Chain A
Amino acid sequence: MNKEPLVQVKKIFKSYQKVQALRDFSLIVKPGMIFSLLGPNGAGKTTLMKILLGIVKYDSGTVHIVNFPVSSPLSRKSVRYLPEYLTFPSWVTPKVLMRQLERIRHESSMHDFIQRCIELECVDLMNRSMGKMSRGQRQRVALSLVTTGQPKLVLLDEPSTGLDPGGRIMVRNLIKKLASNGSTILINSHLLGEVELVCDTAAFINKGRLIAEGGIDSLSRQTGLAFVETEKTAEMHEALENAGYSCRIEDKGVLVQLTDPSAFREFTRIVLKTGIIFSALTLKRESLEDVFLRIMEDSNLEDDIVS
């Protein structure tokens, strides 16, 4: 696979009147990644996404998509975008919409679109007007529209909006399928649980600056919490408390607070010494939500010190 960067953002600045939306922002996204933009409201995530599409103009810096500057329509040739708020005219049906998109893209995609609608369980809505659909149904249709074909880059702004749990699972599966077929996915979502399940890389943005970037596994730290999976939870709890550990019984095991992650080796020895049968012993890592909160807190603290 060609590993030339698909998205190249170099030192861009963007301000809306007095508000600095992006500051000295650089980012590289390689092909095949499922990349997530994370940050609080107003951090600059949607602005960045729109800059990548040429919808929002930036003040300085350079932005290239598939080696084309974003000012060129060629940069959007194999890019698909699902905005967070998109209201189609109430009369239009999915079939008419697809035909309209075919006219603009100069390509025939109806067959692919129908297949995608089958996948997202909205094929029965093909001839129904958008005005007669629920929010979730419209979102499924919109997702089918923007993921039709073999796009190189798919930008999804809050793709799970309005979807029920079944719909969210479908979206996750769709994203993984697109990535396995060679598409690069860039997701902007506040649903960290969803992001954690599907994304491999994340960029954390705060106040228009990139504050952390990398693989989700590498960003999450070990927490100092250990979990002993056992059926004999009461005996294990008692034995570990007697050994001086602070712990509590959880479903199918005992959660133990260690002094720090390095104490895990010693803890393993103590657990073995209890003689109680256990099926697994793991050192817990931070969830994406924990990572998010930690990184944002550090960033705000840093800003306070600087100011």
Chain B
Amino acid sequence: MFLNCIEQLLRRKIVLTAVVATAVFLGFYWWGVSAASSIEFNPGNDSADPVMSMLGSADAALAAIITAGPLAATLITALMIVIGSTMLPEEIGQGRMSFWLSLPQSRLRVFLSTSLAPLAVSFALSLILFAGIFVITRIYFPFSPRSIPMVLISMLIWLASVWASVTLLSLIVKKVASMLITFFLAAVASMFGGVYEMMKMFPGDAPDALVTVTRVIMYVFPADRGYRGVIYGMIPKEAVITENLAFFGVTAAVPPAHLIYAAFWSIVLLGLGYWKFRSMDF
């Protein structure tokens, strides 16, 4: 059943479009990074600009990654939301769900197979995209990543958070509404994820209300924590620019508790989705 759903997803124009967009994105990224690679770094050269004299190729790699990261994340999030919000509603609307359920398989298996397929496709495309960014960057600006396992785990948690949310919503509201709500939550979570990092940089300066709102949003939709984990795992160890100094703190470490919470939250939402699916008549 899972393979059938994957087969079906791979035939969809939206997935094909995302694959083409990924290839085009990586092509442009390659072009941009190769053009930027002509910069000459002279660490320790006092005659140059004092800031520039401190930077090395690892810092250029850091800049390239944190520039490309949000764009790549937007593409993958959009794909995840679109295919995640349509998979179950389409099978139900076209009358296929009753056919699948009439076969000798449990509801849990049908639910997981159908809903896991969008996660698997998005994860695969995300791997290709971020691996492409990583490889292209390393070719022109050699560096060592902080933690590849961190990238993989965080990526799965990031996508699972979006997926669990859109899957549950697609069973409760119309698919367009589920898309819009998840897009909105993803955008707000990304913005407040940055605000959270800034607040860590300047502790005590943030208004209490902002602190509260930021925390609530992090609890309500923790996808941003996973995304920041991806970027943290990818960026160079050797970069001179240290944690929290980069734009919106995207180079800051993500506490493991945040990732564990996001994973737990995804499982709870998926459980709620199954609870809803289990009680549905088709």
Contacts and interface: CB of A to CB of B under 8 A. Distances in A.
B281 A89 contact: no
B279 interface: yes
Contacts of A35: none
Given A73-B104, A76-B102, A86-B99, 4 more contacts: A77-B104, A87-B95, A92-B8, A104-B1
B280 to A, nearest CB: 8
A55 B8 contact: no
Given A55-B282, A100-B4, A103-B1, A85 B104 contact: no
B4 A81 contact: no
B35 interface: no
Contacts of A81: 98-99, 102
9 contacts: A50-B282, A53-B98, A53-B102, A79-B104, A83-B99, A87-B96, A91-B11, A104-B4, A105-B104
Contacts of A54: 101-102, 107
Contact of A55 (B1, B106, B281): B281
Contacts of B96: 86-88
Interface centre among B7, B95, B104, B106 (most CB of A within 10 A): B104
B39 interface: no
Give the secondary structure class of B's interface: loop
Contacts of B47: none
A57 interface: yes
A100 B105 contact: no
Contacts of A91: 11
B103 interface: yes
Interface of A: 16, 50, 53-57, 73-74, 76-77, 79-81, 83, 85-89, 91-92, 96, 100-101, 103-105, 155
B30 to A, nearest CB: 32
Interface in B77-118: 94-96, 98-107
Given A55-B281, A81-B99, A83-B98, A103 B4 contact: yes
Nearest to B279: A57
B102 A55 contact: yes
B3 interface: yes
Given A86-B95, A100-B4, A105 B281 contact: no
Contact of B95 (A80, A83, A100): A83
B106 A73 contact: yes
B281 A56 contact: yes
A76 B98 CA distance: 13
B8 A104 contact: no
A73 B7 CA distance: 24
B102 A103 contact: no
